[in-house]
Chains A and B, each alone.
Chain A
């Protein structure tokens, strides 16, 4: 056993040691780069951060396929896909600014913490100049914040929450995907014509930023039609069994169930709702209906027959007839043997949009890229004429309203397109109350 004695000599010695330790970091000067991760060699590295586990793993796998395809096309391999149909003709298939495109991938685990750790290691270890991907708005918001602080560009993948380009918007972040408000605005008129104006809705909502804004948007849109909201219940994102949430719906007096769920959540909750016999029920003299505001082919595949007749909205579908869609579906189908999902399309488009913005800016400097993307109008990426709005970095384009096919001809024709809602109908002011409270701030290049 030793005693802790303070004497003058010991104090000076340990004081000096601690002082030297504290001063150590300050002797190093800042690095000499003009901006973070300035590519100096013959390659430029992009970071693709997608969920490879968790409820959105299917979407993540498809996103990664699209990223790999986009990198091939940028490097001039394969048939070039949508580069040929893209309205901007800056991309030549020789990489970006003559540098060959390399990429690193990581697993977000659909958790904010893990996603940030993965993105950080891409930025700090692998020197990624741009981060893309993400299949959850919680993750997208977290990673977007990280990219803003680190000084790299974030090209959001599949994120549908209003907050991503609303209260959590950042100058370094850009979203091509549509959002909850647009879904609700597109679905409103269709729901009115299908189910009338006298309905009572029950909401089951994934408990995080996307679910909250999706629910708020749907309630606003349906109440404007004259619908009543009976109840809204939050469910954990990690939940796999929804029976305890669905049972109360039966006796609530509601005649519409709105499932603000996505991915694996939606597959499970919809399947269980159908198993509980909700769809065969008559309530208030009307057929009980289920609405899934955000849809995807991958979810339709997971839910199987249960999807028949259920209405929802999509950002894009591979059955569209424009040139961009056709060439993308062709090159994706040739490489992987099945058509791409909307998650794949948005990630592919984001990668091309980033590469194109760098070419037009003539630099990888994030501030130059931000300037090139703001207010950029383009066409030929599968969604028709599209605008990257300067005020909130959100893309404005047509929205699809879709419906689960009653008798699908094969596993790739699970949804039918009901209507292509024109962009004017889903456009909103940047100051819209559902998007209020955010501030883009200034672009950060990390220098």
Chain B
């Protein structure tokens, strides 16, 4: 075998254009072989020389890089084909992207809400080892603990690093006077300096130690700026027209996600010095829910051990016969945002959070289903492409990968759109759901991670099934156009059913939550709440009160005046007493105690059942009770209860009257035993006015109130408005549900629109032929949309029991609830609404298809 010289050949191959190389090599070889027969050396030399002579521009490779198939080229192709497809079927692309981005926006929004709610008090450095001591048992607990507990914890629990009391004042006790300016600061606290070792606050001026002294105060910067132009140190403020406090420090305002939103901090030592009545050192003493004990656990201590130690502490400090009524348990600080009794007044139940998360997930799934339906319906259009790719050696895996890439592209577009939309609407969350979100939250690391995860999840969830269907086409069938979507029809139908199932469950739940909230606002409370204006009483001096009453009653606009501890339904100043009766055999029950005056029952139209409604004295020894208390002490006939002896706190009392039950707490809870009596202590004034002359009545009340209580802060409210504020949480849930249910239905309809648009074009010829043969427009519309309506109906049937179960468990804990069976129409209504929406969506396309001139579709074959 004659072998040509190696290096010249390599050189030739290196520089020579590929389209000429074969021929040139062939020529050179032919010449070489011929010559080497006579002289191999000359042939080799000639070969080399010829190669050199070929080294001229015509034969050189172009300097521009030539096409080299690399793996990235295939991706480029995927990308290009994807873009072409998106622009060619732009209607479907818009539907796809719109549906997905709506879904992602929802999910993102819910993520931000949930993240915000979960972020409460996580920012403290020691957050994971700060606990609050609660009074009672989990599930039936009071957030407040007796004053003496903190001192005992400090001396007997070495595992606790710092222990401190933080006590928030009730609104009516939070009246501040600075430079003769009176205002109410709802976030006024008595605080022990140890609290500042537990919780993170930024001290702009001063030191926590200054709060060891009585009559010292620290204010938030917002207060310092507003009332002292920033120069607050050394100035004084007056609390409730009484004690003066010297300002010794300034704090930065706490972040919004704090359940300790302090604005004015007063030294707890002041309270101890003034020896307020509630400062009882006994552990079995009553406690104020807003006087809370916090502590930080030393690192490495198991919190489980504390609860048992607290039990032993109770045994050491409480008399034997009282021990069974006293217990404490600890709660992590990260948990207190989800129960009533935190200082922020903004709680959200853990169940609400997980419901929201579930809704977010479902909406995302609905959006994905849209995508799956449209993509697999459109698969036929891509059949030829799949056929060609497979013929050219594309494996199934690479096809799956290609379609996933396409989905990725669409999802990415939708995600970016969702991000943009969210950044625009995020500011509305405060007014819509009273959740203060800001744009900063969008750019935090965890949000970006969430979006990345969503991108991948949605791509896989939405893209996998269409990719699987498409890549499964047999090339021969696909090229002939013989692919039909029949196989995937069942899947698609189930997916649509699932979509409308979720939508209808959401609609039913939304309407029922709204109904329940409305019921809360309109349910009979057992007393009159109309035309009543309430205001606070700074003190209950008899002279002040009688002056105010008499001067108010001189005006015809004022119909009645009553002074009491609180209104019949109230969340503030609800005092609970331990109730004892001989029928309890040593046990104790609890009853709410309300201090009233002689006009209270008549003004609030609380009905008498037995005995008298006139309280003879202010000793608290004669009491009027409600029917529930009569039942509690085991007496059936209210008349029999008159003269019965009971004791509450340490007062032995005699029942002199029985009134009908009325709602004393929020409607989530039922009726409790109530004791109505009189001690001369009052905190609330209520005035029944003539509703035709409201403004006059208001100015009269304000004038006389200010005359009586000079130097005090006046504020008023309508009783019914005040009662409505109890149901903020329900209203928030309702507004969240309305938003997300309508979005879910909207996404479902977008998907239906896309699908029917596709079906209408697919079946255009059939429709035209039917039309020629005499079908009416109505008939054609029915044929096209009939199948879809059937699916919606099936979805409704499945949705009913699910919605029933969900709502039943939501309503379970509510004492005054709507009955689901009375609200059966809600279920039917939701189905009708969904069907109506589906018909409207479908008809946009079906009517168009039915009206079209048959010639158009049948002209060409």
The reply to whether chain A is a binding partner of chain B is no
Interface residues of A (CB under 8 A from B): none
Interface residues of B (CB under 8 A from A): none
